[in-house]
């Protein structure tokens, strides 16, 4: 077990905790107080740490998600579970009916089922947004959706590159959990880029050889 800890960087007490919580399968027993762990355990711990850390899932949700990987559910079911897991933080906040109606209008033309977790989550976010006194922003919503469709294509393409259900399931899970965080990070970079282009459009003479752009922000 200390090897597991060394290989993953997770403290032993934490590994025991994951075992207890069912996030990690028990090792192969060799005696009442001895077990062997293999490469699969190392990878699973790294997966769990990615889900709990950057992925932002809680332990109970992460458990559902790893259980889905290990199950024999078809890949689209695994996808649904991963989607719900990634939406947990926003479900149950309940956007009002008006916000739901706006969302349905926005999503008209898309082939989604009303139970899609994004629908309710989007309603909750829009309700919160407009409750702060912000105007209704259909243009912002619509363009966000256009971009979401682009990344959704990229998400599915990535999964299709994997061979076999198990590899696909793992990619679905980690891609869904980490994809949001990745996009948010890239959005930060893109915002600064676009802002700089708009407000400090000093066209570099040699676009590919320029030094650091001007310091902005802070």
Partner DNA sequence: CACTATCGATAGTTACAGTATCCATATGCG
Partner DNA sequence: CGCATATGGATACTGTAACTATCGATAGTG
Q: Which is nearer to a copy of itself, 32 or 207 (CB)?
A: 207
Encoded tokens for 187: 């959005």
166 binds a copy of itself, rule: CB under 8 A? no
Q: Nearest approach, Cβ of 26 to a copy of itself (angstroms)?
A: 21
Q: Tell me which long-range contacts 33-41 makes (C-beta under 8 A, separation of at least 24).
A: 35/1, 37/1, 37/3, 37/4, 41/4
Smallest gap from residue 12 Cβ to a copy of itself (A): 19
7/1 Cα distance (integer angstroms): 10
> Using the rule CB under 8 A, is 192 a contact of a copy of itself?
yes
11-70: contacts with DNA (CB under 7 A)? 11-14, 16-17, 19-20, 26-27, 29-35, 37, 52, 58-60
Q: Smaller CB distance to a copy of itself: residue 19 or 107?
A: 107
Among 96, 158, 165, 166, binds a copy of itself (CB under 8 A): 158
By CB under 7 A, is residue 1 in contact with DNA? yes
Residue placing its CB nearer to a copy of itself in the complex, 30 or 111? 111
Which residues are CB-neighbours of 55 under 8 A, at least 6 positions away? 62, 86, 174, 177, 178, 181
> Is there a contact between 186 and 178 (Cβ–Cβ < 8 Å)?
no
User: What DSSP line would sit under 123-192, residue for residue?
Assistant: HHHHHHHHHTTPPP-HHHHHHHHHHHHHHHHHHHHHHHTS-SHHHHHHHHHHHHHHHHHHHHHHHHHHHH
Q: In whole angstroms, how close is the CB of 72 to a copy of itself at the nearest point?
A: 16
Residues lying near DNA in the complex (CB under 7 A) are found at: 1-3, 11-14, 16-17, 19-20, 26-27, 29-35, 37, 52, 58-60
């Amino acid at each position: 077990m200390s090897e597991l800890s060394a290989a993953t960087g997770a403290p032993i007490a934490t590994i025991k905790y994951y075992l207890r919580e069912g996030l990690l399968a028990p090792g192969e027993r060799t005696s009442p107080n001895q077990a062997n762990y293999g490469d699969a355990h190392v990878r699973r711990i790294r997966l769990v740490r990615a889900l709990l850390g950057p992925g932002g899932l809680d332990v109970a949700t992460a458990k559902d998600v790893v259980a889905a990987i290990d199950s024999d559910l078809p890949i689209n079911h695994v996808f649904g579970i991963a989607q719900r897991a990634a939406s947990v933080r926003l479900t149950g906040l309940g956007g009002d009916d008006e916000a739901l109606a706006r969302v349905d209008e926005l999503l008209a033309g898309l082939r989604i089922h009303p139970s899609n977790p994004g629908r309710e989550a989007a309603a909750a976010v829009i309700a919160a947004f407009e409750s702060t006194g912000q105007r209704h922003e259909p243009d912002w919503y619509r363009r966000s959706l256009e971009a979401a469709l682009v990344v959704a294509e990229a998400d599915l393409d990535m999964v299709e590159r994997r061979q076999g259900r198990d590899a696909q399931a793992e990619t679905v899970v980690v891609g869904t959990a980490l994809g949001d965080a990745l996009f948010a990070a890239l959005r930060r970079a893109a915002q600064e880029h676009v802002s700089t282009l708009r407000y400090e459009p000093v066209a570099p003479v040699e676009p590919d050889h320029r030094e650091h752009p001007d310091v902005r922000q802070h």
